[in-house]
Structure 1
Amino acid sequence: MNAIIMRWLFNTLALVIAAFIIPGIEVLGIAEAMIAAFLLGVVNAFIRPLVLIFTLPITVLTLGLFALVINGLMLWMVSAIVPGLEIAGFWSAFFGAIILSLVSTLLSWFVKD
């Protein structure tokens, strides 16, 4: 249970860092970042695998790079649902998803399950 909460907090921190780095991403507060990180985790757990299966041919053709587009779309979709998370466009979501993945991966290295 502690590992799940730590990952949620790491993703929240990663989202705040992405909002600080990427000009088109804005998080209005910590509570909104926590809600967005939680919802992003739910979306990545349930919707993202289905989208990856449906887009498998193009993902294979691009040698996996299309998965980055899918990550950006999932982040953009979450921003449409969470009122405190505003993303200006697809490219902001795309680069924000890359930053989010890198930061959350780096932070999760420090805590082992």
Structure 2
Amino acid sequence: MKFILKILLTALAVVVLATFLPGVTLTNGYTSAIIVALVLGILRVTVKPLLIFFTLPATIVTLGLFLLVINAVIILLADYFVAGFAVSGFWIALLFSLLLSLFQSILYSLLKEKKEK
């Protein structure tokens, strides 16, 4: 149940960001946003660990800032795989990934349950 809520919250964040960012477009609306959320989840689980492993020296030298580039590459890969989602360039993908991470952390904090002592 929590997985479905996270996908829907990510889709909501994608719709909001596509509305406000000039270089990001969604042609089919909410269905494309849900597909983008699913594809991003799959890419983050499969491709991102491989990219982190192969770019570990660059990540260490840049003190972890290269992970931002990896997130932008994941967004560009999602753009490639989803027909109704378009990102105009690398810098827009970088900004989109930063804002998406910010929105996800805010929205996911709403899902956290209060721990009782």
> Under a length normalisation based on structure 2, what TM-score does the superposition of the two structures give?
0.92
SS at match of 1:86: strand
Which residue in the other structure is 1:71 paired with?
Answer: 71
Superposed structure 1 runs of 4+ greater than 6 Å apart: none
Distance apart, 1:16 and its partner CA: 1.2
- Whichever residue aligns with residue 34 of structure 1, its letter is I
1:1-113 to structure 2, matched below 5 A, reads 2-28=1-27, 29-112=29-112
Any stretches of 5+ residues in structure 2 without a counterpart? none
The offset of 1:20, in angstroms, is 2.0
- Counterpart of 1:112 in 2: which secondary structure? coil
Q: Deviations over 1:5-40 (max 9, x none)?
A: 111011111111221232100112110110011011
Residue identity over aligned pairs, in percent, reads 37
Of stretches 9-18 and 103-112 in structure 1, the one that deviates more from structure 2 is: 9-18
**C-alpha RMSD of the superposition:** 1.0
Higher relative contact order (CA 8 A, sep 6+): 1
| Distance across 2 between alignment mates of 1:22 and 1:64 | 26
Please give the TM-score of this superposition, normalised by the length of structure 1: 0.95
Matched residue type, 1:65? L
Q: Per-residue deviation at 1:108? A: 0.2
Structure 1 unaligned blocks of 5 or more: none
- What is the number of equivalent residue pairs in this alignment? 112
Give the secondary structure class of the aligned counterpart of 1:26. Answer: strand
Per-residue CA deviations over 1:34-59 (Å, capped at 9, x if unaligned) read: 00110110000111011001111111
